[in-house]
Amino acid sequence: MSTHYFLALPIEDAQFERVQRDILPYYSYRRTYRPEEFHLTLQFLGALDDDEVEAVKEIARDVTAVTAPFSLTFKQIDHFGRPDRPRVLTIVPDSSVELTTLTGTLRRKLSEEIASLDRKPFVPHVTLAKKWDTGTRIPYIPSAFKIEESIEAIILYRINPKHTPAYEAVEVFPLQRSEEDTWRSRLKFLT
């Protein structure tokens, strides 16, 4: 089985876990994400050879070197699939010029380098749970929430489906900052 990769923004605010805990009783999922697995995928990369992994790292370094840290605001639950049995339960960010610019630049450069790149449209979201189990969704009115997430790095993740957590940080690419802050950020995710 080949190794798959993706580039994502790490999501760390503890409020995501609280929102997840509050709404899961109204749903039925086989796979619930753990807080250390929360992320916002920028680009699924699929199976890559060693040269492609190095090319992805170089592109990520180039893009993050000219991208300043920014924040995202999350206030809405959403889903993919049927409303009564959604296959994926998510939290979505408000529209963000910074996220759109970062993702557009990153995906354009990656598509120039990797022919087999997944070209699905970018739909920003943080997955809370997936793989509908049984029954139907119980109607409810979600509690209001507002989460401000500081975005300071992109991470290249390797998928290890038989491990917990399933996502392993391969390399951290801090957004534009001083050299000292860069090393602090890398150590935070790689330890």
Structural domain of 145 = 4-190
Cα–Cα distance for residue pair 70/59, rounded to 1 Å? 19
Q: Please tell me the pTM assigned to this model.
A: 0.87
Model pLDDT, residue 135: 81
Catalytic residue annotation: 39, 125
Taking each helix axis as running N to C, give the angle between helix 97-113 and helix 50-65, from 0 to 180 degrees, rounded to the nearest 10: 150
Q: Which long-range contacts (CB under 8 A, 24 or more apart) does 61-66 make?
A: 61/173, 62/109, 63/102, 63/105, 63/106, 63/109, 63/154, 63/173, 64/153, 64/154, 64/173, 64/174, 64/175, 64/176, 65/176, 66/176
Answer whether the bond into residue 124 is a cis peptide, omega within 30°.
no
pLDDT tens figures, 4-45: 999 999 999 999 999 999 999 999 999 999 999 999 999 999
Model pLDDT, residue 91: 96
Cα–Cα distance for residue pair 185/191, rounded to 1 Å? 10
Model pLDDT, residue 117: 85
How many separate domains does the chain show? Answer: 1
Determine the 3-state secondary structure of 169 from DSSP. strand
Query: Which parts of the chain sit beneath pLDDT 70?
Result: 1, 177-191
| Residues contacting 87, CB < 8 A, separation 6+ | 79, 80, 81, 130, 131, 132
Model pLDDT, residue 157: 96
Cα–Cα distance for residue pair 155/80, rounded to 1 Å? 24
Model pLDDT, residue 32: 92
**Pick from 113, 94, 90: which is nearest to 41 by CA?**
90
Query: Residue 13's domain is classified under what CATH number?
Result: 3.90.1140.10
Cα–Cα distance for residue pair 97/94, rounded to 1 Å? 10
Tell me if 26 sits within 8 A of 64, measured CB to CB: no
